[in-house]
Amino acid sequence: MALLTPAQWHTLSALLSFTSRDGRRSFTLDQLGVALGVPRAEAEDRLRDLVETRWHDAALLTLEHDATGAVAGASLTSLEVLARIRHDAGVPTAPRQSAAAVEPMPTQLRPALVEVGLQPDQIDHLLRVFPSERIQRQLAWLPEREARNPAALLIRAIEQDWAAPREIA
């Protein structure tokens, strides 16, 4: 599970917070958005990403719907599947990303991200998972945020798609 992206792990953790004593996870997209600190639409996108994530050829997550078709909860794959570690040439398999989540890496953003202090693996992850427009927007707003740790703040701002700083808004 350590191979999930930070956004996937955050979403999975939020989903687990809805677990009741009987093991069910009941929630609405609005409630998930509040738990994640993101708008409803982004909560839906993150949920869809987890649904499309496969773990050892099994769905990591299955959605439950109410009578109207609205999301009403989720079920995780079995513990047996989650606990299974498969090795291919000594390397555990990672969850596969959906094809829609992968976009070309915009090379023009890489130098700016290096200048902020991000490590190559962090840069690769951000460029692979998030739209270049979001990354560029958060980079542009970074000076206004007066961060003590610009790299950490930028990662968080990109992952959570923060709004413009008050001075700009």
Question: What is the DSSP track for 115-143?
Answer: HHT--HHHHHHHHHHS-HHHHHHHHHHHH
Question: Is residue 105 within 8 Å of residue 128, measured between CB atoms?
Answer: yes
Nearest in space to 106 (alpha carbons), one of 85, 133, 79: 133
| Residue 58 phi, psi dihedral angles, 5° rounding | -120, 150
Question: Is residue 126 within 8 Å of residue 118, measured between CB atoms?
Answer: yes
What the block records as the tokens of 104 is 């070309």
What the block records as the tokens of 71 is 């999301």
Residues of the chain with pLDDT under 50: 85-105
Looking at residue 166, its pLDDT comes to: 82
Looking at residue 38, its pLDDT comes to: 92
Looking at residue 113, its pLDDT comes to: 93
Where does the chain have alpha helices with state H?
6-16, 29-36, 40-52, 79-83, 110-116, 120-129, 132-145, 150-160
Query: Residues 35-56: pLDDT tens digits?
Result: 999 999 999 999 988 888 876 6
| Residue 96 phi, psi dihedral angles, 5° rounding | -85, 135
Looking at residue 168, its pLDDT comes to: 62
Looking at residue 87, its pLDDT comes to: 42
* pTM more than 0.85: no
- For residue 25, the tally of other CB atoms under 10 A from its CB is 17
